[in-house]
Amino acid sequence: MLPRRNSNFGFVSLAICCLLFPNNYLVKLSIADLSSVGPSASCYGSRTCRLYRCLRQWCPDNREDDIANSVASDVPSSIVQDRIIIVGHFLPLRATRKSDDRTWSFSWDRDSLLLQLKDGVPEDMDVIYVGCLNADIEASEQDDVSANLLENFKCVPAFLPNELSDRFYLGFCKQQLWPLFHYMLPLMPDHGGRFDRLLWQAYVTANRVFADKVMEVISPDDDFVWVHDYHLMVLPTFLRNKFNKIKLGFFLHSPFPSSEVYRTLPVREEILRGLLNADLIGFHTFDYARHFLSCCSRMLGLEYESKRGYIGIDYYGRTVGIKIMPVGIHMGQLENGLKLSDTEKRVGELRAEFDGKIVLLGVDDMDVFKGISLKLLALEDLLRQHVKWRGKVVLVQIVNPARGRGKDVKEVQLEAESAVARINTEFGYEGYKPVVLIEERRVPMYEKIAYYNIAECCIVTAVRDGMNLIPYEYIVCRQGTPNLDAVLGLPGGSPKKSMLIVSEFIGCSPSLSGAVRVNPWNIEAVAEAMNSAITMPESEKQMRHEKHYKYVSTHNVAYWAQSCVGDLERSCRDHSRWLCYGLGFGLGFRVVALDPHFQKLLLDDHIVSAYKNAKSRVIFLDYDGTMVPQGSINKTPSQEVLATLNKLCGDPSNMVFIVSGRGRQPLSEWFSPCEKLGIAAEHGFFYRWSREESWEMPVPLMEFSWKEVVSPVLKLYTESTDGSYIEAKESALVWHYQDADPDFGSWQAKELLDHLESVLANEPLSVKTGQQIIEVKPQGVSKGVFVEQLLSSLAERGSPPDFVLCMLAEAFLNSGKMAYSWFVSGWWWSIRAPTFTRLQRTVSMA
Question: What pLDDT is stored for residue 753 in this prediction?
Answer: 93
Using the 3D structure, point to which of 761, 778, 795 is the last residue of a domain.
778
Question: What pLDDT is stored for residue 76 in this prediction?
Answer: 38
Question: What pLDDT is stored for residue 78 in this prediction?
Answer: 39
Buried b or exposed e, range 797-826, using 16+ CB within 10 angstroms: eeebbbbbbbbbbbbbbebeebebebebbb
CA distance 251 to 229: 6
DSSP 8-state assignment for residue 60: -
Cβ atoms 19, 58 nearer than 8 A: no
Are 664 and 786 in the same domain? yes
pLDDT digits (tens, 9 = 90+) for 718-777: 999 999 999 999 889 999 998 999 889 989 999 999 999 988 888 888 898 888 899 998
**DSSP notation for 393-414:** EEEEEEEEPPSS-SHHHHHHHH
Query: By C-alpha distance, which of 23, 683, 1, 567 is closest to 310?
Result: 567
Q: Which of 91-105, 341-355, 476-490 has the lowest mean pLDDT?
A: 91-105
Question: What pLDDT is stored for residue 700 in this prediction?
Answer: 65
Identify which has the larger pLDDT, 22 or 658: 658
CA distance 658 to 9: 15
pLDDT digits (tens, 9 = 90+) for 613-649: 888 899 888 888 778 877 677 888 889 889 989 999 9
**DSSP notation for 691-749:** TTSPPB-SS-----TTHHHHHHHHHHHHHHSTT-EEEE-SS-EEEE-TTS-HHHHHHHH
Assess if residue 570 is contained within a domain.
Answer: no
Question: What pLDDT is stored for residue 770 in this prediction?
Answer: 83
CA distance 62 to 67: 9
CA distance 63 to 2: 16
Q: Is 129 exposed, middle or buried (0-12, 13-18, 19+ CB in 10 A)?
A: buried
Using the 3D structure, point to which of 324, 345, 371 is the last residue of a domain.
324
CA distance 78 to 532: 60
Cβ atoms 238, 208 nearer than 8 A: yes
Are 310 and 355 in the same domain? no
Assess if residue 339 is contained within a domain.
Answer: yes
Are 123 and 202 in the same domain? yes
Predicted confidence (pLDDT) at residue 818 exceeds the cutoff of 80: no
CA distance 261 to 120: 34
Residue 602: pLDDT band by 50, 70, 90 thresholds?
low
CA distance 110 to 115: 7
Domain range holding 610? 12-60+602-699+781-842
CA distance 564 to 118: 12
Mean per-residue pLDDT, 839-843: 30
Residue 31: pLDDT band by 50, 70, 90 thresholds?
very low
Radius of gyration of the chain (CA): 33
∠ Cα 258 556 451 (to 5°): 95
End-to-end Cα separation, the chain, in angstroms: 43
Are 381 and 495 in the same domain? yes
Q: Which of 99-103, 493-497, 535-539, 577-581 has the lowest mean pLDDT?
A: 99-103
CA distance 317 to 357: 62
Predicted confidence (pLDDT) at residue 56 exceeds the cutoff of 60: no
Collapsed DSSP state (helix, strand, coil) of residue 448: helix
Are 391 and 536 in the same domain? yes
Are 34 and 100 in the same domain? no
Using the 3D structure, point to which of 760, 778, 796 is the last residue of a domain.
778
CA distance 87 to 503: 30
Query: By C-alpha distance, which of 506, 415, 181, 405 is closest to 397?
Result: 415
Predicted confidence (pLDDT) at residue 15 exceeds the cutoff of 50: no
Are 258 and 110 in the same domain? yes
Predicted confidence (pLDDT) at residue 404 exceeds the cutoff of 70: no
Cβ atoms 813, 841 nearer than 8 A: no
Query: By C-alpha distance, which of 532, 189, 565, 196 is closest to 386?
Result: 532
Are 713 and 693 in the same domain? no
Identify which has the larger pLDDT, 46 or 120: 120
pLDDT digits (tens, 9 = 90+) for 103-151: 899 999 999 999 999 999 998 899 999 999 999 999 999 999 999 999 9
Which whole-number Å values give the CA distances from 268 to 257, 263, 298, in the listed order?
12, 6, 11
Query: By C-alpha distance, which of 150, 111, 110 is closest to 131?
Result: 150
Helix 742-759, helix 286-300: angle, nearest 10? 90
Assess if residue 92 is contained within a domain.
Answer: yes
Residue 8: pLDDT band by 50, 70, 90 thresholds?
very low
Predicted confidence (pLDDT) at residue 44 exceeds the cutoff of 50: no
DSSP 8-state assignment for residue 176: I
Question: What pLDDT is stored for residue 9 in this prediction?
Answer: 38
Predicted confidence (pLDDT) at residue 840 exceeds the cutoff of 60: no
DSSP 8-state assignment for residue 134: S
Query: By C-alpha distance, which of 460, 383, 455 is closest to 423?
Result: 383
Buried b or exposed e, range 435-464, using 16+ CB within 10 angstroms: bbbbbeeeeebbbbbbbbbbbbbbbbbbbb
Predicted confidence (pLDDT) at residue 26 exceeds the cutoff of 60: no
Cβ atoms 707, 733 nearer than 8 A: yes
Per DSSP bridges, beta strands 773-778 and 435-438 are unpaired
Question: What pLDDT is stored for residue 613 in this prediction?
Answer: 84
pLDDT digits (tens, 9 = 90+) for 557-592: 999 999 999 999 999 998 888 888 898 999 999 999
CA distance 537 to 533: 9
Residue 699: pLDDT band by 50, 70, 90 thresholds?
low
Predicted confidence (pLDDT) at residue 698 exceeds the cutoff of 90: no
Are 96 and 241 in the same domain? yes
Residues 6+ positions from 341 with CB-CB distance below 8 Å: none
Alpha helix (H) residue ranges in 772-816 = 783-796, 810-813
Collapsed DSSP state (helix, strand, coil) of residue 277: coil
Identify which has the larger pLDDT, 345 or 632: 345
Are 317 and 357 in the same domain? no
Residue 336: pLDDT band by 50, 70, 90 thresholds?
very high
Mean per-residue pLDDT, 25-50: 34
Predicted confidence (pLDDT) at residue 35 exceeds the cutoff of 60: no
Residue 452: pLDDT band by 50, 70, 90 thresholds?
very high
Predicted confidence (pLDDT) at residue 398 exceeds the cutoff of 80: yes
CA distance 829 to 839: 5
Identify which has the larger pLDDT, 466 or 58: 466
Assess if residue 356 is contained within a domain.
Answer: yes
Are 156 and 239 in the same domain? yes
Mean per-residue pLDDT, 816-828: 36
Q: What is the CATH number of the domain that holds 383?
A: 3.40.50.2000
Question: What pLDDT is stored for residue 49 in this prediction?
Answer: 38
Q: Is 735 exposed, middle or buried (0-12, 13-18, 19+ CB in 10 A)?
A: buried
**DSSP notation for 224-245:** EEEEESGGGTTHHHHHHHH-TT
Mean pLDDT, the chain, integer: 84
CA distance 159 to 137: 8
Assess if residue 573 is contained within a domain.
Answer: no
Assess if residue 320 is contained within a domain.
Answer: yes
Number of domain units in the chain? 4
Question: What pLDDT is stored for residue 600 in this prediction?
Answer: 63
Q: What is the pTM of this model?
A: 0.80
Assess if residue 172 is contained within a domain.
Answer: yes
Query: By C-alpha distance, which of 325, 287, 315 is closest to 567?
Result: 325
Residues 6+ positions from 223 with CB-CB distance below 8 Å: 82, 83, 84, 85, 247
Q: What is the CATH number of the domain that holds 618?
A: 3.40.50.1000
Residue 29: pLDDT band by 50, 70, 90 thresholds?
very low
Residues 6+ positions from 331 with CB-CB distance below 8 Å: 476, 553, 556
pLDDT digits (tens, 9 = 90+) for 279-312: 999 999 999 999 999 999 999 989 899 888 899 9
Question: What pLDDT is stored for residue 599 in this prediction?
Answer: 67
Q: Which of 241-255, 742-756, 799-813 has the lowest mean pLDDT?
A: 799-813
Question: What pLDDT is stored for residue 811 in this prediction?
Answer: 45
Predicted confidence (pLDDT) at residue 601 exceeds the cutoff of 50: yes
HEC per residue, 606-671? HHHHHHHHCCCEEEEECCECCCECCCCCCCCCCHHHHHHHHHHHCCCCEEEEEECCCCHHHHHHHC
Question: What pLDDT is stored for residue 36 in this prediction?
Answer: 36
Question: What pLDDT is stored for residue 819 in this prediction?
Answer: 31
Assess if residue 303 is contained within a domain.
Answer: yes
∠ Cα 545 547 548 (to 5°): 65
Are 155 and 209 in the same domain? yes
Other Cβ atoms within 10 Å of 230 Cβ, number:
19
Cβ atoms 302, 261 nearer than 8 A: no
CA distance 781 to 796: 21
